[in-house]
Amino acid sequence: MTAVSAAPLRHDWTRAEVEALFRLPFNDLIYAAQTAHRRHFDANQVQLSTLLSIKTGGCPEDCAYCPQSAGFETDVDASKLLAVEAVLAEARAAKDAGASRYCMGAAWRSPKERDLDRVVEMVRGVKAMGLETCVTLGMVDGDQALRLKAAGLDYYNHNLDTSPEYYGAIITTRTYQDRLDTLAAVRDAGLNVCCGGIVGMGEDLDDRAGLLVTLANLPDHPESVPINLLVQVEGTKLAGTAPLDPLDFVRTIAVARILMPASMVRLSAGREQMSDETQALCFLAGANSIFVGPKLLTTDNPEAARDARLFDRLGLSPMPLESAAQAAE
């Protein structure tokens, strides 16, 4: 079995090393991931986050998985940026429901300055409630990232989606380097980075390894690493893609935990389609953050009662805000 040491965090993983982790016997891989997880976190606590689409649809990008792309005919209708007070009302409700982190997403290639002004107000208001704040607005430059930081933003989400090699099969309207440049701008502004990807898009094991190698070899590991399972939406290019074996998804969570042991690893999109048993294995593999609430931008998420029942069955409890904040330091 591959040894997992207590050495300082690594940023020099090779593709061969990561592929070898993916190919470990399942029990050995889970043991290694759980061991790494317990060095940094309470194994029975899970961070609860809530995600709101503050501007839906009409996006000029051609991401093959996304129902918000203007290039696809889906059931998603384009809407304008929400009013600040409407967003703050949703944030209050999320906090009352137990969320410690509030994420706001807008379907833009990059934000216009007039729109950023309103987002800055939203961030200030959510931060004043005592919630962690996160936004995903597409590509941003250094000045925009600094404005968000000054407003009290804690995290900026910008996913790499897949490996550099498979990326062109999924997106053509922005480059992989564009995404890395945004991550660099966010990091230079002093913001925490939320960055992960999507699996089940027709990629192979090498591509899943390539995504995680890229994330783990960034100058600093992302403080939050969302691992999404493709939610297939009729009208998008990836509708009809062969579904991923659930155990391959669990393996991806486990390898992410081993490579980035001090990061929050979020079990993100796709939970609605997962059995309780698959989710339980993901938590065992080191996932310690989920989105709660009925929607993830435009796709369904498990009902709060189902999550509560699962947490009760597994003996899990919500992670206190201060614990999540300490993990990001």
Q: Which of 99, 106, 109 is nearest to 139 (CA)?
A: 109
Query: Which tokens sit at 179?
Result: 């995404």
Q: Which of 284, 222, 216 is nearest to 18 (CA)?
A: 216
Q: Are 150 and 142 in contact (CB under 8 A)?
A: no
DSSP letters spanning 289-308:
EEE-SSEETTEE---HHHHH
134 is catalytic: yes
Query: Which tokens sit at 164?
Result: 């550099």
Q: Which among 118, 187, 194, 195 is annotated as catalytic?
A: 194
Q: Which among 59, 147, 257, 271 is annotated as catalytic?
A: 59
DSSP letters spanning 60-92:
----TT-TTBTTS--SPPP-PPPPHHHHHHHHH
**Alpha carbon separation from 241 to 10, 72, 161, 238, 245 (Å, rounded):** 34, 16, 16, 6, 12
Which amino acid appears at position 4 of this protein? Answer: V
Q: Which among 118, 266, 271, 282 is annotated as catalytic?
A: 266
Q: Which among 63, 101, 147, 251 is annotated as catalytic?
A: 63
Strands (E), 107-230: 132-136, 155-157, 192-194, 197-199, 224-229
Nearest-angstrom CA–CA distance, 25 and 21 = 9
Q: Which among 101, 118, 134, 257 is annotated as catalytic?
A: 134
Which amino acid appears at position 108 of this protein? Answer: W
195 is catalytic: no
282 is catalytic: no
Residues catalogued as catalytic? 59, 63, 66, 103, 134, 194, 266
